[in-house]
Structure 1
């Protein structure tokens, strides 16, 4: 048995030596990409499960309402001898109740369809950024936050310390972002500048970290415009030091907090308007009943 174990270990060592460092790195990157996609799919699955549970609870409530309506209508039935007659008023009430249930079911279906379409678009953007465009770098994070796709880029990839002038390396990265945004003309692209808590005191036109964060955002916006992005899609904003990812208590943490976030925002105004309208309608119907 010991000989067999030694032979197995030797075989593994031989096989591992056959894989080049480049191939190993590529496999690691592929594994990270797959894990990110799995995480995104898991988030979507959990969201679907929650929505399904809420819908089931809603259906259960509607079923209870229907049972109450049926009991109410039974009270309207006049029994005379062996003949049972349903009064005209009871028939009309039952008809209205059934129509109301159908309308509510249709509204729930429309809301679920809209949510599904929105989730599908978000997942497609993340996949495009990570796979087709090839933004794979430890200093570049791509994720979904509250239904919005965002790209977080460490400032060391974009600017020199304390500067708002975009580096040549940054333009290579931003060209990949521009490719995605240009492919989504109905989307908006908001650039957020973030700093650490160290006060800005280099003088010049900038007064403080607010100025620095906004100026960096506008610098990125100008580069994206140069790369062909429609300026009507672009939004520049600065958050200064007030939305840190980690406490600003070490040099490493301050480096983490110095970042630029690029948010890819589907224009979902119509979707939210529809949701708001349908929810108000359902609440009004519930109050009537």
Structure 2
């Protein structure tokens, strides 16, 4: 992640030499905001998963403690019952011996007092164990409810992203087999469009067919306002040789990402604050650059859709 941030800063520095100061500052501020938000979302996701594991582990420990307490309570109850039965037996013996021997009566009286004291001690222990058992049961219920609540929110977010993926796939059906893929992973939706669908070689102007694909994607995003949209431009490792204001693959990838953002901004239903353009140059390949087909795969625009995790953050911050 640090390497990626450094490369991004380097890209923005290069852009500053060929893009107007206002556009450069806007892109720099937007990209910094996205990186901050992306890092926040990643940290929150990891915190959520860690919290879930901790709560589940605590739940397991509580169940073990609860079961152990049940066993101890049952043992104390059995001891209590046995002691009580023994006391009753001694009382019967005491009544019988009372008629025959004062010495025996005295002995049994002592044992009787000892048994009564033992019985009282076990009664106190049993009462304390019952109280502890009730507390453990309450903790077990609280942790179970928290795990269920976290799982419910996670499931709802995953379901929402799955619905979004299906909606995007349906909207972009016409572009299947034309270098466009849609997939869901790690709680996000990734829309990848190869440059053959969007741009001519060395150009950042979006063609008619590519514009139609981006506009249809925008129609879906317009009805999903709680989605952060990161547009990343990628190239192969062939050095940029075009003329004009661009000097490198970094410049070209950033310019292409910005072109996609500009088309999406034409859709007034999309909040511009949710959009960010970023250039990755040749440094995030998904295929080998040793073959023409691999280089074609690497020349792409990736639209990364991330749900806002405000509800999950609120749950994690609750005591």
In 1, Cα distance between the equivalents of 2:138 and 2:55? 19
Does structure 1 residue 249 correspond to structure 2 residue 290? yes
Distance 2:314 2:245 in 1: 42
Q: 1:96 to 1:70 in 2, by over 3 A?
A: same
TM-score by length of 1: 0.69
Q: C-alpha displacement at 1:265, in angstroms?
A: 1.8
Which residue does 2:70 correspond to in 1?
70
Asked if 1:181 is matched to 2:181, the reply is no
In structure 2, relative to structure 1, the CA distance for the partners of 1:240 and 1:269 (3 Å cut) is: farther
Alignment partners' CA distance in 2, 1:226 and 1:71: 68
From 263, 270, 280, the equivalent of 2:304 is: 263
- Give the Cα separation in 1 of the matches to 2:263 and 2:278: 15
> How much has 1:152 moved relative to structure 2?
0.5
Which ranges in structure 2 are unaligned for 5 or more consecutive residues?
1-53, 85-118
Tell whether the 8 Å contact from 1:151 to 1:262 is kept in structure 2 after alignment.
Answer: yes
Tell me which moved more, 101-110 or 220-229.
220-229
1:93-172 equivalences under 5 Å are 93-132=132-171, 134-138=173-177, 139-172=179-212
Kindly report which structure 2 residues correspond to 1:29-44, keeping only aligned pairs within 5 A, or say none. Answer: none
Query: How far apart are 1:203 and its partner, in Å?
Result: 4.3
RMSD of the alignment, in Å? 2.9
SS in 2 for 1:161: coil
Higher RCO structure, 1 or 2 (CA under 8 Å, sep 6+): 2
Q: 1:62 to 1:91 in 2, by over 3 A?
A: closer
Per the alignment, residue 46 of structure 2 pairs with none
The aligned residue for residue 26 of structure 1 is: none
Counterpart selection for 1:85 from 99, 123, 148: 123
Determine the structure 1 residue equivalent to 2:49: none
**How many residues are treated as equivalent by the alignment?**
226
CA contact (8 A) 2:175 2:213 kept: no
Quote how far apart the aligned CAs of 1:59 are: 6.1
2:187 touches 2:306 (CA, 8 Å); kept in 1?
A: no
Unpaired runs of 5+ residues, structure 1, are: 1-53, 282-289
Q: Secondary structure at the match of 1:239?
A: strand
Residue 58 of structure 1: how far off its partner (Å)? 7.6
- Using the TM superposition, give the Cα deviation of residue 134 of structure 1 relative to its aligned residue in structure 2, in angstroms: 3.2
More helix by share: 2
Taking the aligned partners of 2:58 and 2:214, their CA distance within structure 1 comes to 45
Q: Deviations over 1:89-115 (max 9, x none)?
A: 333322211111011110111122112
Distance 1:76 1:108, change over 3 A: same
Instruction: Summarize deviations over 1:183-204 as a string: whole Å, max 9, x none.
Output: 1112121111111011123243
Larger Cα Rg: Structure 1 or Structure 2?
2
CA deviation vs aligned residue, 1:54-77 (integer Å, no higher than 9, x gap): 999886554323222334556777
